[in-house]
Structure formats: C-alpha cells, structure tokens
Chains A and B, each alone.
Chain A
C-alpha cells in the first residue's frame, strides 16, 4: 500500500475545508452579523448608561461569542455527512483524530477568527476601556479554540441524528461553564486593575489538554454516532 504522507494529507484536508468555506463566503459573515446584532440589543435592553455597559462589557462580549460559535457549530460536519465524505475520512488510512483536528482548525479559522477580529469593536460599543482590550483578545484567542474543540466532540456525538440545534446547546453548557468563568474572570480582573495572568494561564492549560484529548474523543464519538 502506498499512503500519502501525513503532512500532505493534513494539508489537503485543511485546504479542502478552507476552499469550501471560501466558496460560501456569506456563511462566514453570518456569525459576525449575529454577534453584532446581539451586542446592539444590550444597550436597548439595559439603557445607554455608560457605567453599567462598561461593567457588563467583557462578559457580554464573551457570551455573545459563545452563542455565535454555537450557531456555527451545528454545521461543522453537516455537509460532510450528507455527501459521504466523512465516511471516506473514517476509512482513510491516516489517523482519524488528526484529520478531524484539521477540520476543527479549519472551522476555527472560518468562524472564530472573524469573531475575534470584530471583538474589540463590539467591546468598544459597550465602552470597555482600551487598556483591557488586549486581555479580552488573549482570553478569546485561548477560549475560542477550546470551545471549538469541545464543541466538535459534541457535534460528532450528534452526527447520526437529524435535529441537534437545541440539544447541542444543552450539552455544551456544562462543558463551557469553566471556559466562560476563566475567560470572563481574566477580563474582569484586568478591568479592576488586578493581575489577570492566572485565569489566562488556566485557559492555556485547558487548551493544551483539549488539543491532545479532544480530537481523539471526537474520533471516538464519530465512530459511535455513525456506527462505523
């Protein structure tokens, strides 16, 4: 047997997913628009008072990012299951966990990265102080891949079912509680002028652990859900 080397297989999966996403550019914009709409609604609901908005800015942006990612999560494996290319991936000689890791990376680049780019703007709309912005971006840079990885495991579990939107939210909530606590904790600490490195370090540690374990769990979950 003559297998493609691992590196080129990974690159092929990544390139394929990014190309597919680029062909449907409109879908990339949707989570960003959604986040923008949610953030716009906060001042209408709470009043335009600057001090109040400033207090909730960090948490509101983080929760909005989480919800926007949750919306996009559902589609992570959808088209691949429908056209059967996921089964091809499972049958391929390369390790499934690594291939899925590449798919998760592509998904993160297409959904989370635009959200992170727009995050300072959203936080600015809620009057988050400029000095806190870098901490918010660090927290997002560490917490969004974590959410993508955890979400991918759950999406894989629901791969064999038809409707999974609400179920996904229900399953993701317990898993994302610690992520939200540490990410929002870092932003809140920075806002109060306290040291914020500890929660960021915890997020980093969790991300390293998830990078190793989540693709493996994702592969197992997919095998269970598709009964392969």
Chain B
C-alpha cells in the first residue's frame, strides 16, 4: 500500500529533515525559475507580435499577470499553512505561512506597480478606483497586517499563531471585499475602459505568459525554501542538528 507517502510527509515536517530537503530542492527551483523566466521574457518581449490596439505597451502583462496570479496563490498557500499550523500546531507550517507573506506582498506590490505603469499610457492615469485595482490594494494591506502582527510579538511562535489567525480571517474577507467593491463601483459608474479580454489572446502571446507563470511558481518555491531554511536555523539555534551544521560548515 501507499503507506510511505504519509510517513514521508511526517518525516519531512521535522525541521532538520526539511532543512536538508529544501537545501537540495532550492538550487534546482532557482535554476528552473531563471531559465523559464528568461525564455518567457524572450518570447514575450521579442517573439510575440505587437498588439494591434495597444502596440508594444501591452508587453508588461508578461510580468503583470503572472505576478497577479502569484499574489493570490501566495495568499492561498499562506492561509492553508496557517490553518494547518493552528489545527495541528506544526512548527514547519507556521514558518511556511509566515515566510509566504513577504513573498506574496512583493508579488502584490509588483502587480500594482506594473499595473499603474501600464495604466498611464493606456487609461491616461496612474491609478483608478477600479474594482480589481482596489481589491489588489486591499490584498496588499492584508499582507502587511499579517507581517506587522507577526513581528509585533516578542515570542515568534506566538506571533506566528496570531498572524496565522489573521490570515484565516483575511481569506474569508477577500471574497467579501471583492464582491462589495464590485457592487460599489457599478453603483457609481461602469468601467469605461475594459481590461484586455483574457480569452481572446493569441497563442504567440499565451505561451510566454504560461511559461512566466511556471517561472514565478518556481521562484516562489526557491525563495520560500531559502527563507524557511534560515528561519529554521534561527528558531532551532539551541538544538543539536543546528550545532552540527554550524560545526561542519564552520570548519569548511
């Protein structure tokens, strides 16, 4: 039977095992992220044809759209890890949840910046109170709240559990915000300029987009594993396995 899968997961959740596992996986994820990112950028910036309406300005979507997807994906990962950490009190899940937050906040920030860079030539304004833009901004505040709460506790595990609870409240809040912001915007005015329809995209533009999406996923893995590794070392600094690593790498 497939008994080894739960066993493997259980073993993996112990800090020294995960430290080793992440150390092996991280360089591969980083290389994959860089290679795929370079291919996607070449495909998007050089190979893909210019848009008949937007000219070359549309090319920012090869950064913007994958980052927007990642901003939601990271929040989802953070909320799932938060749930696991609160229910089963797994130390690794706490670390994963808290280290996902800055990465997700960075992706959200990039989404907002690239969006406003694109909005200036297209809409004629850096910022508009469109439903999507507002939801993304609220998402950034949610991330910042989680990060801020985590760092305001002196005891890191306690901070992680409080912030994990906030992350779970946040994920209930995200659809409510999205729905209410939509309602609010349609009450006042319909959007006069629509965002490029995602279904009517040509293959030459689609494949760099999907490649970039894969690249951002691998970057997330690489970044997360690196952060989790350093976090585990500092959290477990009194433990034997950290001492062994320090002695081994100190002599080398």
Residues 132-162 of B contacting A (Cβ, < 8 Å):
138-139, 141-142, 144-145, 148-149, 152-153, 155, 158, 161-162
Say yes or no: is A217 at the interface (Cβ < 8 Å to chain B). Answer: yes
Residues 142-169 of A contacting B (Cβ, < 8 Å):
153-154, 157-158, 160-164, 167
Residue of A nearest to B140 (CB): A174
Contact of A178 among B144, B148, B176 (CB under 8 A): B176
Say yes or no: is B184 at the interface (Cβ < 8 Å to chain A). Answer: yes
Q: How large is the interface on B (under 10, 10 to 19, 20 to 34, 35 or more residues)?
A: 20 to 34
Say yes or no: is B181 at the interface (Cβ < 8 Å to chain A). Answer: yes
Say yes or no: is A207 at the interface (Cβ < 8 Å to chain B). Answer: no
Q: List A contacts of B165 (CB < 8 A).
A: 157, 217, 220-221, 224
**Contact A178 B158, CB 8 Å, known A153-B169, A170-B148:** no
Q: How large is the interface on A (under 10, 10 to 19, 20 to 34, 35 or more residues)?
A: 20 to 34
Asked if residues B149 and A163 are in contact (CB atoms below 8 Å), the reply is: no
Q: Is the interface of B mostly helix, strand, loop or mixed?
A: helix
Asked if residues A174 and B145 are in contact (CB atoms below 8 Å), the reply is: yes
Residues 180-194 of A contacting B (Cβ, < 8 Å):
181-182, 185, 188-189
Asked if residues B148 and A167 are in contact (CB atoms below 8 Å), the reply is: yes
Asked if residues A160 and B153 are in contact (CB atoms below 8 Å), the reply is: yes
Q: List A contacts of B170 (CB < 8 A).
A: 174
Asked if residues B158 and A177 are in contact (CB atoms below 8 Å), the reply is: no
Q: Is the interface of A mostly helix, strand, loop or mixed?
A: helix
Inter-chain CA distance A224–B86, complex, in Å, is 9
Inter-chain CA distance A153–B172, complex, in Å, is 14
Asked if residues B158 and A227 are in contact (CB atoms below 8 Å), the reply is: yes
Q: List B contacts of A178 (CB < 8 A).
A: 176-177, 179-180
Asked if residues A171 and B145 are in contact (CB atoms below 8 Å), the reply is: yes
Inter-chain CA distance A191–B117, complex, in Å, is 37
In this complex, which of A170, A182, A188, A221 has the most chain B Cβ atoms within 10 angstroms of its Cβ?
Answer: A170
Q: List A contacts of B183 (CB < 8 A).
A: 181, 185
Q: List B contacts of A158 (CB < 8 A).
A: 149, 152, 162
Say yes or no: is B187 at the interface (Cβ < 8 Å to chain A). Answer: yes
Contact of A173 among B141, B153, B181 (CB under 8 A): B141
Residue of A nearest to B147 (CB): A170
Asked if residues B166 and A182 are in contact (CB atoms below 8 Å), the reply is: no
Residue of A nearest to B188 (CB): A188
Inter-chain CA distance A164–B145, complex, in Å, is 11
Say yes or no: is B230 at the interface (Cβ < 8 Å to chain A). Answer: no
Residue of B nearest to A194 (CB): B187
Contact string, B180-211, partner A, CB cutoff 8 A, digits 1/0? Answer: 11011001000000000000000000000000
**Contact A177 B149, CB 8 Å, known A185-B187, A221-B162:** no
**Contact A161 B145, CB 8 Å, known A153-B169, A217-B169, A224-B161:** no
Asked if residues A167 and B149 are in contact (CB atoms below 8 Å), the reply is: yes
Asked if residues B148 and A181 are in contact (CB atoms below 8 Å), the reply is: no
Q: List A contacts of B145 (CB < 8 A).
A: 167, 170-171, 173-174
Q: List B contacts of A175 (CB < 8 A).
A: 169, 173
* Least Cβ–Cβ distance between A70 and chain B, in angstroms: 14
Asked if residues A177 and B144 are in contact (CB atoms below 8 Å), the reply is: no
Asked if residues B158 and A170 are in contact (CB atoms below 8 Å), the reply is: no
Inter-chain CA distance A158–B158, complex, in Å, is 11
Say yes or no: is A225 at the interface (Cβ < 8 Å to chain B). Answer: yes
A171-B166, A174-B145, A224-B165 known; 5 other A-B pairs, CB under 8 Å? A167-B152, A171-B145, A175-B169, A182-B180, A217-B169
Instruction: Please name 20 pairs of A and B residues whose Cβ atoms are closer than 8 Å in the assembled complex, sorted by A.
Output: A158-B162, A160-B158, A161-B152, A164-B152, A167-B149, A171-B148, A174-B139, A174-B142, A174-B145, A174-B173, A177-B177, A177-B180, A178-B180, A181-B183, A185-B187, A189-B187, A220-B165, A224-B162, A225-B162, A227-B155
